[in-house]
Amino acid sequence: MKGSTIALLSRAFINDSDDARNTPAEPFRDAALAAGAEVRVHDPRVDPATSPDAPSGLSRDLEGVLSGADAVVVFAGHMEYRGIGRGDKNRHALQE
């Protein structure tokens, strides 16, 4: 993982929720960082201003998080993520 960029989509524990307590995304993020990866975290539901469980650097910019990522990991299937990578021009698409 060293030197790679990972887009981690969803800090929340449950689809379409803002509940970030006990999320499996946290140990994954910590392990990836320890292995030398850059990890960008996006969640449209978790508000960094009000959630004590939000990591520093949590982004609301999905395009920015996906841009240049070597890998994408989805932890909760928020509706905003459905269709990513399917080539739909009205949605964000991963670069191949």
**pLDDT of res. 78:** 93
Is 76 buried (19+), middle (13-18) or exposed (0-12) by CB count in 10 A?
buried
1-11 pLDDT per residue, tens? 899 999 999 99
Domain range 5-81, CATH architecture: 3-Layer(aba) Sandwich (3.40)
Identify the H or E element spanning 15.
Answer: none
Identify the H or E element spanning 58.
Answer: none
What are the sequence ranges of the domains in the chain?
5-81
Residue, of 49 and 67, whose pLDDT is higher: 67
Alpha-carbon dihedral 78, 80, 84, 87, rounded to 10 degrees: 150
Local structure of 6: helix, strand or coil: strand
pLDDT beyond 80 at 94: no
Q: What is the pTM of this model?
A: 0.83
